[in-house]
Structure 1
Amino acid sequence: MPSVTDRMTAFASQPPTANASADERPASLHDALEALERGLHGLVQLDLLLIRDTASNTPAKQRSVKVSSVVDVVCRHAFEVGLDQDSLRTVVQVASVKTELDQTSVTTLIKNLYPAQRVPSDVVVTIVGALGQGKGKPTPGSQNGFVKWLITVHEIIEDPSILSRLYGVLFGLLDSISIRTSLCHLLSLITLRKHVKPFRIEQLLELARGLGNEPALQGLLRVYKDYYPDIILGITLEGIDNVEDFVEKLERIEAPGQMVSFLTDPLLQKYVELGDSPIIVQRIQLWLSMCLEDQYNAIKEGVVDTRYLSDILNGLLKHAQYTKTLLPIVQTFLKEYLLIWDGLQNVDDILNLLSYSPIHPFEGKLHARVTFLQPLERSLLAHDLQACERLLGFYTSLFRQWSNQASPQPSHSNSPLAHPDQRALLGLAAHVATLSSSLLLSLPSESSSITTITSAILTFYEQLSTSSKPHHIPIILPPNSLIYLLTVSSSTTVFARITGIIANYRHAFSAHPAPVLNYYPEETTNSFNTALRDVYNLLWMSRALDVAPPKSMGLYCTPELRDALHAYLTELDHEYSIQAAFNVSNNPVLASMSLAAWLALENEEIEREGYDPDAITRHEGPVSQRKLEMLRAAGGVDVDWDAYRVRVLKWMEERGLKGPKEFMFSASNQLRVKFPELA
């Protein structure tokens, strides 16, 4: 059986520190206890060898011996060998009443109540009698310490039934805030079936309704429920252990007293959503309206607690992420908050919250653009260019949320924009197109932010190009001018992504119910076909910047400029021309990959045909159809022009740049027929 000292290690793991000199210390434990006891009874003169005045009832300034020396002797002895029943009784009597003894000493004594023998019943009675309100009662901290001590020693009490007989007294102290947590723990340990009475069940439920999800109280309720599960009709979310339990008891679950936790508690969020109780919704709305109004006023007055506001916004975001909706009161708050927002504080939470705004008309006096987006852009764009990237990321999230919320149209509708929801999506996309074009035209190419901003623009259009659903989400095209700006970027990654986006739109039109012209106006399909043909001419047909309205616009390059560029290139080298300057071999962003793909292909052909790699004529590049014919005639490898170009596309795809291959196989029926294994 574990020793008594082992059972008491929860109170202290270190012996008390001696802080008095040897000549101030009492001669023995007996002397120290007698000093404490006599002091307790008000005696002012003690004829002990080293103790000349009382310890507990004499004010500190009037003592000739430090009380710490007396407490030190008692605690050291208790820690080393434990207190016998008489000593334990004396210390408890001293600590269980209000005296002149300082709180530190009382706390130290309680923490060092190590019994050397079983605990006498009268000591337990003394402690229980010291609990609660009263003029002579010890401090709340001391009372809590006593209850914790009873929890530790409840199994080694001399009369095991004493706590059971005092159960009614202990239960009646549950309204004492300072000791409620520890008291619930003690009651949970000693509760028997005979203690579970209807009036106590009612009192516990009433207390629980008033206090909400107080863990200790919920724990005691669970003990009661184990004895009489049919009597306790309420229990709470704290008592739910699994999904089956939650579903089975959904109608009987008591709403917690403090609904604020619904912002971060997933189980409570499920309860609110599934319970569909108007009262609970009103409670949440009322609390949030008061809380957010206080925060708004504090911000205007410059006295806001920024950390608390951050916690509130973060909680609201977690709720929005779970429900995929934004509470009306939060929308009202954000509408006003954006007018005074500095564009910096809690920027990620604000943008993420706004992305859950419900879909509604984009243009108009009180619609999305004026209500939210203009104040948002004004606050954000007042800072550095990183804000532009954040803004584009926000619009990407907002479009995704609006797409999920948009109402489907009747299948017989002959217009993709007949419903206000579809027109809202079009308005948002048009706004992002204007913003994107403005940024690309205004930012210098050497700007450190151009790469991340361009990537954010492409991310938006990658989502836009794959979002369309017939009779639900319309095909919304970027303007050709924006496509062309991205096509002539100096980045291989940008070129690969924009060609992939065009391929996505090509697949979207192919998957749409035919005939497409019954749903989309001719100018829409003509505009897309023009962009498709311009990029196709650029990459594959060696007709770069060829202007032949209305079929091709040459990336809006005027014929005069195209002629001047052609003249410049031919002056440099007669092999150069503007027509072939952007194909897979000569395009400045693809040339290095084209060369690597050719070298790999050439080596494979040499090995397959059994040629001598040191003797065979090799191609010096850049590869063209005419040069491949000359290479074949000179004894080099025999490679088809289309096979080489497709190998370049495949080479890029294998390295994560799949856009050009997807574009070409979506734009060219000839390639799909000739290379079906790659289609």
Structure 2
Amino acid sequence: MSSLGDDGLGGLIEDLEEASKVPAKSRQTSIKQTVENTASLLYDRGALPDELARLVDLLTIRNHLDQASLGAIIRNLYPSGKVSDEVVLRFIGALGHGKLKPSLPLQALFLRWLVMVYHLLENPAVLSQVYSVLFNLLDTAAIRPQLCHLLALVTRRKHMRPFRIQGMLDEIQQRRSERQDGQGIRNGFAVNHAVGQKWKTTKTSLPIVRTLHAQENSITLEEIDSAEAFAKNIEKIELPTQLVAVLADPLLQKFLFLRPNAEASSRISNWLMACLGDVASGDADSEIFLDMIEVMHDYAVATKILPPILLTFFAQFLSIWNGSDKRDIVLECLSFAPLIEFEELYKTLNGLEHAVLDNTAASQVSLLKFYTSLLRRWTITMEAAESIDTLPWATVPRLIDYVNQLALTLTQTSPTVNTYLAILDFYEAAANLYSSKKLLQHIEITIPPPLLVYLVYFSPSLAAVSRLCGILASYKRAWETVMSSAVARQLTRRERDQINVFNGFLMDLCNCLWRGRAFSKTDLNAQGCRIPQSVQMTLEGHMRSADPDLSLATAFGLSHSPLLCLQSLSYIRQLEEDEMEDLRARHAGPVTQASLGRLANRGGLALSWQEYRSGVLEYLEVKGFPGISDLMYNTMKNLMRARRQ
């Protein structure tokens, strides 16, 4: 370390610059004393211009110095002369949000420092030049008081105070809200006259809410202007003349939801079917119909449901749709389809698939994402229902079984990581459904196809494998719930047929990951990942020719798996870094039970095989891959006992 004195500050800064390039755990010595000496010299004699510039770089550029050290430096950063424009701009440029920006507490100290040295600025006008930058940062509450103090010096306006700035921002938001209300939004409790303006530029002739021939003692929707008026007069409100306006008018949507009317539903259906007939016969432009689909989409998104009337309408629409125009809008709209009998739903699904599928993987993925959204919305519907007994819940396992074939097809037509992740989205939605005891009372568990499970498990993506393991762990908990007294039903015959196959998944994955018996078929339920014996022998011979010490049985464990070997070795490296001073040897990797024993004898980490594997599971959780740990702790009995202890 450099000695203290009149010329020692430069040496101390050089030491800090070197330390800033090295992570704290990798430094040979602590920098605490260096920081204290630097702060003391800065307090005693101040910083010369070149020293000040170097310290400002340390403060404003992301490095490995801790916040406490940086805070000590800025609190004692007394300049011994005028402060240049460059120093000021460096501090201003470090303000705001971003990964490379200093922390907000440190930014607050920068602003306090600028206030402190305001009268020492070489050019005070420099702050006026960056006034807009400072003002735009006022919405950041953590630095607002210091910003206001600095702006008050710049503008000489006494009213620049934090509470006044906050009040001004609230006022701006209020004016914006009122301006939106003036354009017809009004939180859905006034007739949306703006819909007519919205569609003037298109060929769609969607009418607005208008009530003709109203009775003297009735109230029209056009007269309603608030939630209170709507609630008070709901029984007196007259049905508007053009009910199809419900597709774009939030108030009419609420009215028909609270006062359902069979005649109104029939009128809406007739209007839509007439529009569809005109397009099918060539009497109207198809663009009109696509515009109508967009209106229906907005209606479904607003109401969170697609009424049976519109579902019937879509079944007809799909027969004349080309499957590509506004596909995302059509699919999102249909994802709000109600939970109905599968035979009735299939009429729409069959038409949808005939329209969308065009012999490309992209069209198959679009359908899969649609089914994922549909299943998620049904789960919400069933969870919110007062009694699931009244719902056609048998449709759910039939849909999952139906989508199983699409997902399996995708593993063949598009075996990419993105496709696997989209497939896992669907099965995560299913696993989420099975996590509800209320829903498990009625809904059969339907597992993924075996081939799909193995293909995803042997994919080149750790994220995909982790998510797959997490899904299987959720399924296992669901099986246990059904087989316990937690739900008032027994396993169905179909579920009993599936459970042995599912146990085969678990045994095969545990054999690969944990037991060092990849592709074994000797254990109960083990299926050897359904890899033929002849293929296994060929793979074993190839590995032995490459390295006699390699074995196919252990090639997919935590230490040797192509997806997990880096994470496992990184875990060991982390342990060694934490105990670096006491170690005489380090592990070269990959880790085995025998290598851990040899390592301890050579003065390396003293770590048992069980501690190592448990530690890798925890490390994977920390790194954002919790699924493997979840599956192991829910499947391996020795790990279950260890966690309970």
Q: TM-score, normalised by structure 2?
A: 0.61
Change (3 A) 1:242 1:548: farther
State the Cα distance separating 1:585 from its structure 2 match: 1.1
State the Cα distance separating 1:541 from its structure 2 match: 0.8
Select 1:490's aligned residue among 453, 460, 468: 460
Q: Which residue of 2 aligns with 1:122?
A: none
Secondary structure at the aligned position of 1:512 is classed as helix
Change (3 A) 1:420 1:234: closer
State the Cα distance separating 1:436 from its structure 2 match: 1.6
Q: Which residue of 1 aligns with 2:624?
A: 656
Q: Which residue of 2 aligns with 1:209?
A: 211
1:552 aligns with 2:526: yes
Q: Which runs of 5+ in 1 are unaligned?
A: 1-206, 213-230
Q: Which residue of 2 aligns with 1:507?
A: 477
Letter in 2 for 1:628: L
- Bigger-Rg structure (1/2): 1
Contact 2:408–2:449 (Cα < 8 Å) also in 1: no
RMSD: 3.3
Select 1:272's aligned residue among 241, 249, 256: 256
Q: Which residue of 2 aligns with 1:304?
A: 285
* 1:570-610 deviations in Å (ceiling 9; x for gaps): 22222210111001111111222222122112222x25xx5
Contact 1:393–1:456 (Cα < 8 Å) also in 2: yes
Q: Which residue of 1 aligns with 2:160?
A: none
* 1:263-298 deviations in Å (ceiling 9; x for gaps): 122222111110223443343333333233333334
* 1:456-509 deviations in Å (ceiling 9; x for gaps): 111111111221222222221112221111111111111111111101101212
Select 1:519's aligned residue among 491, 499, 505: 491
State the Cα distance separating 1:519 from its structure 2 match: 1.6
Paired with 2:477 and 2:638, the residues of 1 have a C-alpha distance of 17
Q: Which residue of 1 aligns with 2:503?
A: 529
Select 2:430's aligned residue among 459, 464, 468: 464
Residues 75-94 of structure 1 mapped to structure 2, 5 A cutoff: none
Contact 2:417–2:460 (Cα < 8 Å) also in 1: no
Q: Which residue of 1 aligns with 2:605?
A: 637
State the Cα distance separating 1:322 from its structure 2 match: 4.2
Residues 109-188 of structure 1 mapped to structure 2, 5 A cutoff: none
* 1:291-324 deviations in Å (ceiling 9; x for gaps): 33333334xx6x5241x32331122223334444
Contact 1:320–1:326 (Cα < 8 Å) also in 2: yes
State the Cα distance separating 1:401 from its structure 2 match: 4.2
State the Cα distance separating 1:403 from its structure 2 match: 4.7
Contact 1:408–1:471 (Cα < 8 Å) also in 2: no
Change (3 A) 1:328 1:510: closer
Contact 1:619–1:631 (Cα < 8 Å) also in 2: yes
Q: Which runs of 5+ in 2 are unaligned?
A: 1-208
Contact 1:465–1:476 (Cα < 8 Å) also in 2: no
State the Cα distance separating 1:384 from its structure 2 match: 3.6
Letter in 1 for 2:281: N
1:395 aligns with 2:371: yes
State the Cα distance separating 1:233 from its structure 2 match: 4.6
Change (3 A) 1:208 1:564: closer
1:353 aligns with 2:319: no
Select 2:582's aligned residue among 595, 607, 611: 611
Moved more, 248-257 or 526-535: 248-257
Residues 40-59 of structure 1 mapped to structure 2, 5 A cutoff: none
* 1:231-257 deviations in Å (ceiling 9; x for gaps): 975443344344333222211223333
Q: Which residue of 2 aligns with 1:574?
A: 548
Contact 2:311–2:348 (Cα < 8 Å) also in 1: no
* 1:350-398 deviations in Å (ceiling 9; x for gaps): 22233333444546xxx544x2333322322216422111110111123
Letter in 2 for 1:651: Y
Contact 2:364–2:406 (Cα < 8 Å) also in 1: no
Contact 2:521–2:528 (Cα < 8 Å) also in 1: yes
1:240 aligns with 2:221: no
Contact 2:219–2:233 (Cα < 8 Å) also in 1: no
1:377 aligns with 2:353: yes
Paired with 2:345 and 2:519, the residues of 1 have a C-alpha distance of 39
Letter in 2 for 1:491: S
Moved more, 330-339 or 462-471: 330-339
Change (3 A) 1:646 1:245: farther
1:667 aligns with 2:639: no
Paired with 1:236 and 1:420, the residues of 2 have a C-alpha distance of 35
Paired with 2:571 and 2:523, the residues of 1 have a C-alpha distance of 35
Letter in 1 for 2:548: H
Change (3 A) 1:245 1:451: same
State the Cα distance separating 1:627 from its structure 2 match: 0.7
Change (3 A) 1:279 1:441: closer
Q: Which residue of 2 aligns with 1:431?
A: 402
Moved more, 643-652 or 510-519: 510-519
Select 2:572's aligned residue among 598, 616, 621: 598
Change (3 A) 1:208 1:329: closer
Number of residue pairs aligned between Structure 1 and Structure 2: 429
State the Cα distance separating 1:404 from its structure 2 match: 5.5
Letter in 1 for 2:632: M
Moved more, 488-497 or 512-521: 512-521
